């Protein structure tokens, strides 16, 4: 059982890593799109509303998927002034609490965003601007998807941190027992 849970955690972590690498390519696509849009607008006086909308669509998707990858890599913002002064046990407890709170917030956002996405899908929502992109519900569907990936990575963090805390506790108990 322990091995299969560990394998499941590793697979979840790998999935978030792959989503993050895809996001990096979206970032490159966004840079190229913005460069093309700016050059076309200023050099040739040519611009499309759809291209401008696609820019912020790609930015939104990049942010929504990228936040789980940030947590995956450990690049999230912490108050290191305080965190660095804590001992290993307290740091692990802070990581565990942070992961649990991230998981809770992610679940709340998923729950709140599903009706929003469903309404957009039901009305086949598109851009209100002439020449804008259709199928806005596709963009909106990345809200629960992005937060589901964040929740998945938070679960990975909870499992790994809890495992480390339990292992540390077990090692401390064994060393106390053998020391007496």
Q: What's the total number of domains in the chain?
A: 1
Look up residue 74 and give its DSSP letter.
Answer: T
Domain span at residue 137 reads 2-179
DSSP 80-133: HHHHTTS-HHHHHHHHHHHHHHHHHHHHHHHHHHHHHHHHHHHTT---SSTT--
Is-contact 70 152, C-beta < 8 A? no
Look up residue 163 and give its DSSP letter.
Answer: H
pLDDT tens by residue, the chain, 180 residues: 456 777 788 888 888 888 888 888 999 999 999 999 999 989 988 888 889 999 999 999 999 998 888 887 766 666 677 777 888 888 888 889 999 999 999 999 999 999 999 999 999 999 988 888 899 999 999 999 999 999 999 999 898 888 888 877 776 656 555 555
- Global pTM reads 0.82
The pLDDT of residue 130: 87
What are the angstrom distances between the C-alpha of 108 and each of 15, 27, 60, 114, 116? 22, 27, 19, 10, 13
The pLDDT of residue 53: 93
The pLDDT of residue 77: 65
Round to whole Å and give the CA distance between 109 and 65: 14
120 CB neighbour count, 10 Å cutoff = 18
């Amino acid at each position: 059982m322990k091995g299969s849970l560990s394998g499941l955690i590793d697979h979840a972590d790998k999935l978030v890593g792959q989503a993050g690498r895809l996001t990096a390519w979206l970032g490159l696509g966004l840079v190229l799109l913005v460069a093309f849009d700016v050059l076309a607008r200023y050099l040739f006086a040519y611009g499309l509303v759809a291209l401008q909308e696609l820019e912020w669509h790609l930015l939104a998707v990049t942010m929504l998927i990228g936040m789980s990858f940030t947590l995956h890599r450990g690049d999230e913002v912490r108050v290191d002034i305080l965190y660095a002064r804590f001992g290993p046990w307290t740091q692990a407890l802070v990581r565990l609490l942070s992961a649990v709170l991230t998981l809770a917030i992610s679940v709340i956002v998923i729950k709140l965003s599903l009706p929003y996405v469903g309404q957009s899908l039901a009305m086949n929502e598109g851009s209100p601007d002439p020449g804008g992109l259709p199928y806005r519900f596709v963009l909106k569907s990345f809200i629960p998807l992005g937060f589901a990936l964040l929740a998945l990575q938070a679960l990975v963090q909870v499992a790994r941190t809890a495992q480390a805390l339990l292992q540390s506790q077990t090692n401390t108990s064994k060393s106390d027992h053998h020391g007496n």
